[in-house]
């Protein structure tokens, strides 16, 4: 391990001689994850006149070049040719370029090279953060990053609203070198995830800054920038320049940045081969007559932004169609506030061709379509759950069965989300089984069986992920008056959770082997109850939970035979009064 003073001396020497004798000079590896890393400028030669990617071979790593070739790119766009040389030198940069100009590669390539030259490791935490305005854009950027990282060993991840936060926490605790994130979720982790190591941050990228500000993330961005280390390289890209973007530039970029612009008249199309989410971004397509919005926009401003794609130019006209469910009509209030004229259309369903059977048959027979439809359904539900206007767009008002039909499924695939709405807003249809029916079968072996009305066995539920999910649920069950969790009590180990498929009932059975640390077995019933409640909230409804108790621990005969309701049965077996409060809370939430 290199001593800290020696590393600092090397950094200072590199800074002084970065124009001279660049060849063969690379930054020393970061050895100590707890040691703060000083920002190091990555050195390269002068401006690149040749617009081909092959001209970068002397300036970027072989692994990155191989990935670029695999992606099918040969020539750089204008924004790439103007930005990459400066960014490889470690300069701060503000780029002005419209959608489709190729700016994603313009900031990803230098970011990856910075991590590569610094030899960033997972133990060093996060070295680069890329902020995107929406989930759709962050997923697209992450997809490009994934392709560029094909031959690299650095870790990378995606943080966004609607995704499983606990899974993100686990990944962050292991170290994620490059992160693509939406502003809200990133701020959440910066403030609340203790194991998120970001003090070694070397690079911050703010993509589509104008869009981020337009949809109301100005305050979140300010908080994020204030939390991050000040000594870093910063890149900011925006399609337009406003007073807000200029203010953000002053806040985010402490050094004098280099400003790069693109002549839109010369370069107006996306590089061939680069896929774009045009619906999420909004391309300036001429002569658009209709804009049809099937899914609700994330924000009223986003609706106006989408509609603005039509009727562009002098004397132009256009139409916008927005499809809303009855539960979503409250969104019209915001449109009226924006003085948008509205007309309601009645649909004649007898003119709509019924293709449901053909759709389901097509999805069931084609593996690629089936997988794509399942991911699309999950993305739809997660995006809906992360909607800003939750009082209007409440995920719990969605009929999951009918929503699944629209994606070609007879039953909804499992979606990992956590419900947080109030009891009165929770639709009763999600509680198909009503109260939990605890059936105490044996005093020595099987304590209880949670009957969750299994319907159809979803063969695509990942057993490993399900097992990890249940173990995470167990770890979060806490005594309300004590800080200890069930994990602290060592009542359940991860190896004691088993997943069993039962073909006859079409269900997937979760078997939890329980070693109680109290005289009675009430805690096992509590675990089963909490697992069942939380799995149901994650839309995993076709799961049966069996709680097993190891030999030598058993309830009394009177407790087994007592015919009372769930709450009383569990409470009757309890010696610890604090556990009663947990059961009460679980049952109240379920009711």
What pLDDT sits at residue 318?
Answer: 66
Nearest 10 degrees: Cα torsion 30, 31, 37, 39:
-20
pTM, to two decimals: 0.47
Give mean pLDDT in consecutive 10-residue pieces for the chain, a chain of 591 residues. Answer: 47 49 39 44 44 83 91 88 90 82 90 93 94 88 92 93 86 95 92 92 92 83 92 89 82 83 48 36 54 71 57 55 83 76 76 79 82 84 78 83 86 64 33 28 26 32 58 55 45 53 46 46 52 51 46 38 38 42 47 42
Query: Which class would CATH give 52-261?
Result: alpha beta
Closest CA to 396 of 586, 184, 538: 538
CA–CA distance from 548 to each of 34, 434, 478 (Å)?
43, 23, 21
What pLDDT sits at residue 127?
Answer: 95
What pLDDT sits at residue 323?
Answer: 83
Nearest 10 degrees: Cα torsion 75, 80, 81, 86:
-150
- Strands, sheet with 203-206, edge to edge from the N-terminal-most edge strand: 156-159, 178-181, 128-131, 203-206, 233-238, 93-96, 258-261
SS3 235: strand
Q: Give the residue extent of every domain in the chain.
A: 52-261, 285-350, 356-430, 446-590
- Strands, sheet with 446-450, edge to edge from the N-terminal-most edge strand: 446-450, 543-549, 507-514, 497-502
SS3 501: strand
- CB-based contact 387:422 (threshold 8 Å): no
Contacts of 557 (CB under 8 A, 6+ apart): 443
> CA-to-CA distance for 336 and 564, rounded, in angstroms?
54
Run of H or E including 291: strand 290-293
Nearest 10 degrees: Cα torsion 206, 211, 216, 221:
10
Residue listed under structure tokens 């929503």: 403
The domain 446-590 is placed in CATH, from the list 3.30.300.130, 3.30.390.30, 3.40.30.10, 3.40.47.10, at: 3.30.300.130
């Amino acid at each position: 391990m290199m001593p800290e003073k020696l590393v600092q001396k090397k950094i200072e020497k590199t800074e002084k001689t970065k124009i001279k004798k660049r060849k063969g000079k690379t930054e020393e590896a970061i050895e100590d994850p707890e040691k703060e890393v000083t920002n190091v400028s990555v050195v390269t030669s002068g401006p690149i006149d040749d617009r081909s990617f092959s001209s970068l071979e002397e300036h970027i790593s072989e692994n990155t070049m191989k990935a670029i070739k695999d992606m099918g790119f040969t020539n750089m766009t204008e924004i790439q040719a103007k930005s990459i040389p400066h960014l490889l030198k470690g300069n701060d940069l503000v780029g002005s370029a419209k959608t489709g100009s190729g700016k994603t590669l313009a900031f990803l390539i230098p970011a990856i090279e910075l991590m590569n030259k610094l030899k960033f490791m997972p133990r060093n935490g996060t070295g680069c953060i890329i902020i995107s305005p929406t989930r759709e854009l962050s997923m697209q950027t992450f997809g490009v990053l994934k392709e560029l990282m094909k031959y690299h060993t650095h870790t990378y991840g995606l943080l966004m609203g609607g995704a499983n936060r606990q899974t993100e926490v686990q990944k962050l605790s292991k170290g994620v070198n490059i992160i693509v994130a939406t502003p809200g979720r990133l701020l959440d982790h910066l403030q609340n995830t203790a194991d998120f190591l970001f003090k070694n941050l070397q690079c911050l990228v703010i993509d589509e800054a104008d869009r981020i500000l337009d949809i109301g993330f100005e305050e979140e961005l300010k908080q994020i920038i204030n939390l991050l280390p000040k000594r870093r390289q910063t890149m900011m890209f925006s399609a337009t320049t406003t007073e807000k973007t200029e203010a953000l530039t002053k806040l985010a970029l402490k050094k004098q940045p280099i400003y790069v612009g693109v002549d839109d008249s010369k370069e107006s199309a996306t590089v061939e081969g680069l896929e774009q989410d045009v619906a999420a971004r909004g391309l300036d397509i001429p002569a658009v007559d209709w804009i049809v919005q099937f899914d609700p926009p994330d924000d009223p401003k986003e609706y106006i932004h989408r509609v603005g794609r039509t009727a562009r130019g002098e004397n132009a006209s256009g139409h916008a169609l927005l499809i809303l469910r009855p539960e979503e009509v409250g969104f019209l209030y915001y449109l009226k506030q924006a003085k948008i004229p509205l007309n309601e259309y009645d649909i004649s369903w007898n003119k709509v061709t019924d293709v449901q059977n053909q759709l389901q048959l097509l999805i069931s027979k084609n593996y690629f379509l089936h997988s794509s439809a399942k991911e699309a359904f999950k993305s739809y539900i997660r995006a809906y759950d992360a909607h800003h206007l939750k009082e209007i767009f409440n995920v719990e008002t969605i009929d999951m069965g009918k929503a699944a039909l629209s994606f070609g499924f007879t039953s909804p695939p499992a979606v990992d989300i956590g419900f947080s709405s109030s009891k009165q807003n929770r639709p009763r249809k999600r509680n198909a089984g009503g109260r939990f029916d605890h059936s105490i079968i044996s005093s020595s072996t099987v304590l209880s069986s949670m009957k969750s009305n299994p319907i159809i066995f979803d063969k695509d539920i990942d057993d490993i992920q399900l097992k990890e999910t249940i173990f995470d649920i167990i770890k979060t069950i806490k005594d309300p008056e004590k800080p200890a969790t069930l994990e602290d009590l060592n009542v359940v180990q991860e190896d004691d959770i088993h997943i069993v498929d039962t073909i006859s009932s079409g269900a997937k059975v979760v078997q939890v082997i329980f070693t109680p640390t109290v005289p009675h077995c009430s805690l096992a019933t509590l675990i089963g109850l909490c697992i069942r409640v939380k799995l149901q909230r994650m839309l995993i409804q076709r799961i049966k939970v069996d709680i097993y108790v190891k030999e030598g621990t058993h309830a009394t005969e009177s407790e087994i035979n007592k015919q009372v309701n769930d709450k009383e049965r569990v409470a009757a077996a309890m010696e610890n009064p604090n556990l009663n409060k947990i059961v009460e809370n679980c049952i109240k939430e379920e009711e």
